[in-house]
Protein backbone atom coordinates (compact mmCIF):
# COMPACT_ATOMS: atom_id res chain seq x y z
CA UNK A 1 0.00 0.00 0.00
CA UNK A 2 1.45 3.37 -0.98
CA UNK A 3 1.94 6.29 1.40
CA UNK A 4 -0.78 8.24 -0.44
CA UNK A 5 -3.31 5.45 0.13
CA UNK A 6 -2.28 5.25 3.80
CA UNK A 7 -2.84 8.97 4.30
CA UNK A 8 -6.17 8.77 2.53
CA UNK A 9 -7.35 5.95 4.80
CA UNK A 10 -5.81 7.39 7.99
CA UNK A 11 -5.62 11.17 7.47
CA UNK A 12 -5.36 11.97 11.15
CA UNK A 13 -2.46 9.64 11.90
CA UNK A 14 -0.06 11.61 9.71
CA UNK A 15 -1.13 14.91 11.27
CA UNK A 16 -0.71 13.49 14.75
CA UNK A 17 2.77 12.21 13.92
CA UNK A 18 3.80 15.60 12.54
CA UNK A 19 2.34 17.30 15.60
CA UNK A 20 4.39 15.07 17.90
CA UNK A 21 7.57 15.67 15.93
CA UNK A 22 7.00 19.41 15.99
CA UNK A 23 6.67 19.60 19.77
CA UNK A 24 9.24 16.97 20.70
CA UNK A 25 12.12 19.50 21.01
CA UNK A 26 10.04 21.63 23.36
CA UNK A 27 9.19 18.61 25.50
CA UNK A 28 12.88 17.81 25.78
CA UNK A 29 13.47 21.31 27.15
CA UNK A 30 11.10 20.79 30.08
CA UNK A 31 13.60 19.07 32.48
CA UNK A 32 16.21 21.76 31.88
CA UNK A 33 13.68 24.57 32.29
CA UNK A 34 12.39 23.04 35.52
CA UNK A 35 15.94 22.78 36.84
CA UNK A 36 16.66 26.40 35.83
CA UNK A 37 13.44 27.63 37.41
CA UNK A 38 13.99 25.72 40.67
CA UNK A 39 17.66 26.40 41.24
CA UNK A 40 18.15 29.80 39.57
CA UNK A 41 14.97 31.80 39.08
CA UNK A 42 13.37 30.98 42.44
CA UNK A 43 16.58 31.75 44.41
CA UNK A 44 17.00 35.01 42.49
CA UNK A 45 13.41 36.01 43.29
CA UNK A 46 13.93 35.10 46.94
CA UNK A 47 17.16 37.08 47.00
CA UNK A 48 15.44 40.12 45.48
CA UNK A 49 12.71 40.14 48.11
CA UNK A 50 15.26 39.62 50.90
CA UNK A 51 17.33 42.60 49.71
CA UNK A 52 14.51 45.05 50.52
CA UNK A 53 13.80 43.82 54.05
CA UNK A 54 14.75 45.50 57.33
CA UNK A 55 15.53 44.02 60.70
CA UNK A 56 12.49 43.23 62.79
CA UNK A 57 11.84 45.43 65.89
CA UNK A 58 11.96 42.24 67.96
CA UNK A 59 15.75 42.19 67.37
CA UNK A 60 15.70 38.42 67.07
CA UNK A 61 18.59 36.93 65.11
CA UNK A 62 17.52 36.36 61.52
CA UNK A 63 14.14 38.12 61.97
CA UNK A 64 13.41 40.59 59.15
CA UNK A 65 10.28 42.38 57.94
CA UNK A 66 9.45 43.14 54.32
CA UNK A 67 9.46 46.95 54.12
CA UNK A 68 10.54 47.33 50.46
CA UNK A 69 13.46 49.53 51.49
CA UNK A 70 15.43 50.00 48.27
CA UNK A 71 17.88 52.28 50.07
CA UNK A 72 19.50 49.04 51.25
CA UNK A 73 21.31 49.00 47.91
CA UNK A 74 22.70 52.50 48.39
CA UNK A 75 23.76 51.83 51.97
CA UNK A 76 25.35 48.51 51.06
CA UNK A 77 27.39 49.98 48.21
CA UNK A 78 28.53 53.08 50.12
CA UNK A 79 29.60 50.99 53.09
CA UNK A 80 31.53 48.45 50.99
CA UNK A 81 32.66 50.39 47.93
CA UNK A 82 36.32 49.83 48.77
CA UNK A 83 35.83 46.05 48.64
CA UNK A 84 33.99 46.42 45.31
CA UNK A 85 36.84 48.37 43.75
CA UNK A 86 39.43 45.98 45.16
CA UNK A 87 37.57 42.95 43.82
CA UNK A 88 37.42 44.27 40.26
CA UNK A 89 41.03 45.47 40.33
CA UNK A 90 42.27 42.09 41.58
CA UNK A 91 40.11 40.28 39.02
CA UNK A 92 41.36 42.51 36.20
CA UNK A 93 45.03 42.01 37.10
CA UNK A 94 44.54 38.27 37.46
CA UNK A 95 42.76 38.14 34.08
CA UNK A 96 45.59 40.01 32.34
CA UNK A 97 48.21 37.76 33.93
CA UNK A 98 46.25 34.64 33.05
CA UNK A 99 45.94 35.83 29.44
CA UNK A 100 49.68 36.53 29.25
CA UNK A 101 50.40 32.99 30.47
CA UNK A 102 47.58 31.13 28.73
CA UNK A 103 47.92 32.47 25.18
CA UNK A 104 51.53 31.31 24.58
CA UNK A 105 50.68 28.02 26.31
CA UNK A 106 47.58 27.45 24.18
CA UNK A 107 49.50 28.47 21.04
CA UNK A 108 52.27 25.98 21.80
CA UNK A 109 49.77 23.17 22.44
CA UNK A 110 47.78 23.93 19.28
CA UNK A 111 50.67 24.36 16.83
CA UNK A 112 53.90 23.05 18.35
CA UNK A 113 53.05 20.12 20.63
CA UNK A 114 52.72 17.36 18.03
CA UNK A 115 52.11 13.98 19.63
CA UNK A 116 52.26 15.57 23.10
CA UNK A 117 49.05 17.57 22.56
CA UNK A 118 46.73 15.29 24.53
CA UNK A 119 49.19 14.96 27.40
CA UNK A 120 49.59 18.73 27.65
CA UNK A 121 45.82 19.22 27.62
CA UNK A 122 45.50 16.74 30.47
CA UNK A 123 48.14 18.68 32.40
CA UNK A 124 46.16 21.90 31.85
CA UNK A 125 43.00 20.43 33.34
CA UNK A 126 44.82 18.40 36.00
CA UNK A 127 44.18 21.03 38.73
CA UNK A 128 40.46 20.28 38.39
CA UNK A 129 41.15 16.80 39.78
CA UNK A 130 41.51 18.36 43.23
CA UNK A 131 39.21 20.77 45.03
CA UNK A 132 39.48 24.53 44.74
CA UNK A 133 40.08 24.81 48.48
CA UNK A 134 42.95 22.31 48.51
CA UNK A 135 44.63 24.03 45.58
CA UNK A 136 44.48 27.37 47.38
CA UNK A 137 45.85 25.85 50.58
CA UNK A 138 48.70 24.34 48.56
CA UNK A 139 49.43 27.74 47.07
CA UNK A 140 49.63 29.14 50.60
CA UNK A 141 52.31 26.58 51.38
CA UNK A 142 54.20 27.43 48.21
CA UNK A 143 54.24 31.14 49.05
CA UNK A 144 54.77 30.59 52.78
CA UNK A 145 57.84 31.70 54.68
CA UNK A 146 59.25 28.17 54.50
CA UNK A 147 58.17 27.64 50.90
CA UNK A 148 60.39 27.41 47.82
CA UNK A 149 59.50 30.84 46.46
CA UNK A 150 60.50 32.79 49.56
CA UNK A 151 63.60 30.63 50.06
CA UNK A 152 64.75 31.30 46.49
CA UNK A 153 64.13 35.04 46.78
CA UNK A 154 66.05 35.15 50.05
CA UNK A 155 68.96 33.22 48.53
CA UNK A 156 69.05 35.76 45.72
CA UNK A 157 68.99 38.61 48.30
CA UNK A 158 65.76 39.93 46.80
CA UNK A 159 63.88 39.47 50.09
CA UNK A 160 65.05 39.88 53.67
CA UNK A 161 64.68 37.04 56.15
CA UNK A 162 61.78 38.75 57.93
CA UNK A 163 59.71 39.47 54.83
CA UNK A 164 56.83 37.32 53.61
CA UNK A 165 54.63 36.96 50.53
CA UNK A 166 51.50 35.50 52.08
CA UNK A 167 48.80 37.75 53.55
CA UNK A 168 49.43 40.30 50.81
CA UNK A 169 47.65 41.53 47.69
CA UNK A 170 50.34 39.82 45.63
CA UNK A 171 49.51 36.38 47.02
CA UNK A 172 45.76 36.90 46.48
CA UNK A 173 46.30 37.88 42.84
CA UNK A 174 48.67 34.96 42.30
CA UNK A 175 46.08 32.60 43.76
CA UNK A 176 43.36 33.98 41.49
CA UNK A 177 45.62 33.72 38.45
CA UNK A 178 46.59 30.13 39.20
CA UNK A 179 43.11 28.87 40.06
CA UNK A 180 41.43 30.34 36.98
CA UNK A 181 44.24 29.77 34.48
CA UNK A 182 42.60 26.66 32.92
CA UNK A 183 39.45 28.69 32.24
CA UNK A 184 41.58 31.02 30.14
CA UNK A 185 43.70 28.39 28.43
CA UNK A 186 41.04 25.98 27.15
CA UNK A 187 38.86 28.48 25.19
CA UNK A 188 41.93 30.03 23.58
CA UNK A 189 43.24 26.60 22.64
CA UNK A 190 39.86 25.66 21.14
CA UNK A 191 39.92 28.77 18.92
CA UNK A 192 43.53 28.28 17.86
CA UNK A 193 43.03 24.59 17.13
CA UNK A 194 40.19 25.40 14.70
CA UNK A 195 42.37 27.70 12.60
CA UNK A 196 43.16 26.18 9.22
CA UNK A 197 46.98 26.00 8.83
CA UNK A 198 46.54 26.77 5.13
CA UNK A 199 45.57 30.32 6.09
CA UNK A 200 48.96 30.87 7.73
CA UNK A 201 50.67 29.23 4.76
CA UNK A 202 48.80 31.59 2.45
CA UNK A 203 49.98 34.52 4.56
CA UNK A 204 53.56 33.35 4.12
CA UNK A 205 53.01 33.00 0.37
CA UNK A 206 51.99 36.67 0.38
CA UNK A 207 55.41 37.53 1.87
CA UNK A 208 54.16 38.15 5.42
CA UNK A 209 56.65 37.35 8.17
CA UNK A 210 55.75 35.42 11.31
CA UNK A 211 54.86 38.52 13.30
CA UNK A 212 52.53 39.90 10.62
CA UNK A 213 50.94 36.47 10.18
CA UNK A 214 50.21 36.32 13.89
CA UNK A 215 48.93 39.89 14.01
CA UNK A 216 46.79 39.72 10.87
CA UNK A 217 45.64 36.09 10.82
CA UNK A 218 46.15 34.12 14.04
CA UNK A 219 45.19 36.74 16.62
CA UNK A 220 41.96 37.93 14.93
CA UNK A 221 40.78 34.34 14.37
CA UNK A 222 41.49 33.46 18.01
CA UNK A 223 39.65 36.47 19.45
CA UNK A 224 36.44 34.52 20.26
CA UNK A 225 38.53 32.26 22.48
CA UNK A 226 40.30 35.23 24.06
CA UNK A 227 36.99 36.93 24.82
CA UNK A 228 35.46 33.74 26.21
CA UNK A 229 38.57 33.04 28.31
CA UNK A 230 38.72 36.54 29.78
CA UNK A 231 35.04 36.37 30.70
CA UNK A 232 35.38 32.91 32.26
CA UNK A 233 38.30 34.25 34.32
CA UNK A 234 37.13 37.74 35.23
CA UNK A 235 33.55 36.88 36.26
CA UNK A 236 34.31 34.19 38.88
CA UNK A 237 37.44 36.03 40.05
CA UNK A 238 35.36 39.13 40.82
CA UNK A 239 33.14 37.24 43.23
CA UNK A 240 35.78 34.92 44.66
CA UNK A 241 36.38 34.90 48.40
CA UNK A 242 38.46 31.75 48.99
CA UNK A 243 41.75 33.22 47.77
CA UNK A 244 41.36 36.46 49.72
CA UNK A 245 40.35 34.52 52.83
CA UNK A 246 43.26 32.06 52.76
CA UNK A 247 46.02 34.05 51.05
CA UNK A 248 45.11 37.56 52.14
CA UNK A 249 44.61 39.66 55.26
CA UNK A 250 41.81 41.94 56.52
CA UNK A 251 43.08 44.72 54.24
CA UNK A 252 42.78 42.54 51.11
CA UNK A 253 39.17 41.44 51.57
CA UNK A 254 37.09 41.25 48.42
CA UNK A 255 33.36 41.73 48.08
CA UNK A 256 32.83 37.97 48.18
CA UNK A 257 34.28 37.94 51.70
CA UNK A 258 31.87 40.67 52.78
CA UNK A 259 28.87 38.80 51.34
CA UNK A 260 29.99 35.59 53.02
CA UNK A 261 30.41 37.37 56.35
CA UNK A 262 27.03 39.13 56.09
CA UNK A 263 25.23 35.90 55.30
CA UNK A 264 26.84 33.48 57.76
CA UNK A 265 28.41 35.54 60.56
CA UNK A 266 26.64 38.88 60.92
CA UNK A 267 23.33 37.34 59.77
CA UNK A 268 22.45 40.52 57.87
CA UNK A 269 20.56 38.93 54.99
CA UNK A 270 19.20 42.15 53.37
CA UNK A 271 22.66 43.72 53.05
CA UNK A 272 24.18 40.48 51.77
CA UNK A 273 21.39 40.09 49.21
CA UNK A 274 21.75 43.72 48.09
CA UNK A 275 25.51 43.32 47.68
CA UNK A 276 24.94 40.17 45.62
CA UNK A 277 22.56 41.99 43.29
CA UNK A 278 24.91 44.96 42.93
CA UNK A 279 27.77 42.59 42.08
CA UNK A 280 25.67 40.79 39.45
CA UNK A 281 24.50 44.08 37.93
CA UNK A 282 28.00 45.54 37.69
CA UNK A 283 29.38 42.34 36.14
CA UNK A 284 26.55 42.27 33.57
CA UNK A 285 27.28 45.88 32.60
CA UNK A 286 31.02 45.26 32.32
CA UNK A 287 30.50 42.09 30.28
CA UNK A 288 28.00 43.76 27.92
CA UNK A 289 30.28 46.73 27.26
CA UNK A 290 33.33 44.49 26.84
CA UNK A 291 31.66 42.17 24.34
CA UNK A 292 30.33 45.05 22.24
CA UNK A 293 33.68 46.84 22.25
CA UNK A 294 35.51 43.68 21.15
CA UNK A 295 33.01 43.11 18.33
CA UNK A 296 31.94 39.64 19.45
CA UNK A 297 28.25 40.22 20.12
CA UNK A 298 27.46 36.76 18.78
CA UNK A 299 28.97 35.23 21.94
CA UNK A 300 25.99 36.39 24.04
Residues 162-210: pLDDT tens digits?
A: 778 888 999 999 999 999 999 999 999 999 999 888 888 888 777 778 8
- For 9, the enclosing helix (H) or strand (E) is helix 3-9
- Are residue 21 and residue 158 in the same domain, yes or no? no
- Do 123 and 223 fall within a single domain? yes
Cβ–Cβ contacts within 10 Å for residue 253, how many? 21
Q: What is the rounded CA–CA span in Å between residue 180 and residue 186?
A: 11
**Termini Cα distance of the chain:** 51
State the pTM of this model: 0.85
Highest mean pLDDT among 15-19, 164-168, 225-229: 225-229
CB atoms within 10 A of CB 53: 20
Q: pLDDT per residue over 68-91, tens digit each? A: 999 999 999 999 999 999 999 999
Q: Is residue 52 part of a domain?
A: no
Quote the CA–CA distance of 234 and 183 in Å, as a whole number.
10
Is residue 53 in a domain? no
Domain span at residue 274 reads 71-299
Average pLDDT over residues 8-14: 52
What is the domain count for the chain?
A: 2
Give the tens place of pLDDT for each residue, 101-152.
999 999 999 998 888 999 999 999 998 898 999 999 999 888 887 788 888 8
125 and 22 housed in the same domain: no
Are both 35 and 179 inside the same structural domain?
Answer: no
Same domain, 18 and 138: no
To 10 degrees, what angle do helices 269-294 and 81-111 make?
A: 40
Verify that 12 and 87 share a domain, yes or no.
no
Instruction: Write the pLDDT tens digit of every residue in 267-286.
Output: 899 999 999 999 999 999 99
Sequence-distant (6+) residues with CB within 8 A of 53 are 64, 65, 66, 67, 69, 72, 269, 270
- Flag whether 27 is in a domain: yes
Average pLDDT taken over every residue of the chain: 87
Q: What is residue 95's predicted lDDT score, i.e. its pLDDT? A: 97
Contact indicator for 280, 48 with CB cutoff of 8 Å: no
Q: Is 48 inside any structural domain?
A: no
- Give the CA angle between residues 98, 99, 100 to the nearest 5°: 90
295 exposure class (CB count in 10 Å sphere: 0-12, 13-18, 19+) = exposed
Domain of residue 133, CATH code: 1.10.3720.10
Residue 14 pLDDT: 54
Amino acid sequence: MSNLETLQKEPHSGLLKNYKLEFTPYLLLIPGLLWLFTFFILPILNLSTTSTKTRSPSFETGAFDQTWRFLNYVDAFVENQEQFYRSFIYALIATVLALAIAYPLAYAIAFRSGAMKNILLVLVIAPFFTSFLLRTLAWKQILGSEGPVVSLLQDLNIMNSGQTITATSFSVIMGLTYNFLPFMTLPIYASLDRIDPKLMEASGDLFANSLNTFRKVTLPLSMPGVVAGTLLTFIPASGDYINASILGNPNTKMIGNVIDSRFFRVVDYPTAAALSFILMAVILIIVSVYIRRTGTDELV
